[in-house]
Amino acid sequence: MDDRKLSEKAGTRSWVVEAPSGAARLVDGQMPAPGEGEILIEVAATGLNFADLLIMKGTYQDTPPFPLTPGLEVAGRVIEVGGGVDRFTPGTRVLAYTGKDGLGTHLVTDARRVLALPDEMDDVTAAGFQIAYGTSHLALTRRARLQPGERLLVLGAAGGVGLTAVELGKALGARVAAVARGAERLEVARRAGADELIDPDNEVDLVDRFRAAGPFDVVYDAVGGAMGEAALRAVAPEARFLLIGFAGGEVTRLKANHILVKNTDVIGVHWGAYLNFAPEAFRQSLSELLGLYTEGRISPHVSHVLPLEKADDALALLRERKSTGKIVVTVSQ
């Protein structure tokens, strides 16, 4: 047998969206072959992200052409490697940020997007690990330069990325205020290390509540809209305001005069782009995070695990904000 591939079934199965905002269905297909610099992976599990919902609508900045299979990050094992790939061998357990095709039994991806999995990490944990922890780690360390003793405000603190920001912020020595809706979601944030809990639905004036908890040296805004705008009013001089995403459905509109008078840095964070313009920073960050996991210093939270046949239900949980932490779809046949 060729030591560059394992013998596998000829067929694949993928969850395919035919057109923007259209219906999806499971489709059988032929096994793909890796090209130069690529790896064929048998997918064990796929982590869902808010970006998957945007991709299905055709509104995400990196939407592939339709028909498409969503699923940006996976865990699985190497089946075959293409020419020029020497870091992996068939049978190796891996995690990969693929950007697409995760909701399928097999996929081909660039070997630069793949990392070997430590034995201590199971497939479900690995599938939802990279984007959430990678985003927060690079945002807080490289972009915001968060220091011990500083105050960190996390908007959307019970969601996929927000919860990791709470956990990593606390690990970096910050005092963390977590913002999430409902007692159950706030309790998840508290268990991740949040020092202060804020439910925006219970506040008459959110700006006043933020000011009472602050002033904040760093704001981690994964929500957008009015909540982000209120947070800007409660920052300390020379604060760093991280634009992570707009899960609330509206872009944060920050007033230039507020930014000016507080000498505030407004910082955009697009985690996936680091793979292209700073790949070493990308890989070093993930390597450090895997080290933190094996040392038991971070504890990924997965609230729901569903099979590929129930991908619709899994995405509905994400769309309706009925999950905390990550949702993972198990894929292997």
* CA pair distance 115, 96, nearest whole angstrom: 6
Please determine, for residue 261, whether its predicted confidence score (pLDDT) is greater than 50.
yes
Percent of the chain with pLDDT over 70: 97
Tokens of 111: 């070997």
DSSP assignment of 127-194 equals HTTHHHHHHHHIIIIIIS---TT-EEEEETTTSHHHHHHHHHHHHTT-EEEEE-SSHHHHHHHHHTT-
Please give the model's pTM, rounded to 2 decimal places.
Answer: 0.93
Per the CB < 8 A criterion, the answer to whether 56 and 17 are in contact is yes
DSSP assignment of 238-286 equals EEEEEE---TTSS-----HHHHHHTTPEEEE--GGGHHHH-HHHHHHHH
- Over the stretch 63-85, which tens digit does the pLDDT of each residue have? 899 999 999 999 999 999 999 99
Sorted by where each begins, the domain ranges of the chain are 11-129+300-330, 132-272
What's the mean pLDDT when you consider all of the chain?
94
Please determine, for residue 9, whether its predicted confidence score (pLDDT) is greater than 70.
no
What pLDDT is recorded for position 11? 86
Tokens of 36: 């130069």
Please check whether the domain covering 132-272 is classified as CATH 3.40.50.720.
Answer: yes
Tokens of 319: 């769309």
Tokens of 102: 């995760």
Q: Which residue has the higher pLDDT, 177 or 2?
A: 177
What pLDDT is recorded for position 1? 41
> 11-129+300-330 maps to which CATH number?
3.90.180.10
Closest CA to 14 of 307, 310, 331, 315: 331
Torsion angle of C-alpha atoms 121, 274, 104, 61, degrees rounded to 10: 140
Are β-strands 216-221 and 235-243 bridged in parallel, bridged antiparallel, or unpaired?
A: parallel
- Over the stretch 89-127, which tens digit does the pLDDT of each residue have? 999 999 999 999 999 999 999 999 999 999 999 999 999
Please determine, for residue 247, whether its predicted confidence score (pLDDT) is greater than 90.
no
Torsion angle of C-alpha atoms 310, 311, 315, 321, degrees rounded to 10: 40
Percent of the chain with pLDDT over 90: 91
- Over the stretch 282-315, which tens digit does the pLDDT of each residue have? 999 999 999 999 999 999 999 999 999 999 999 9
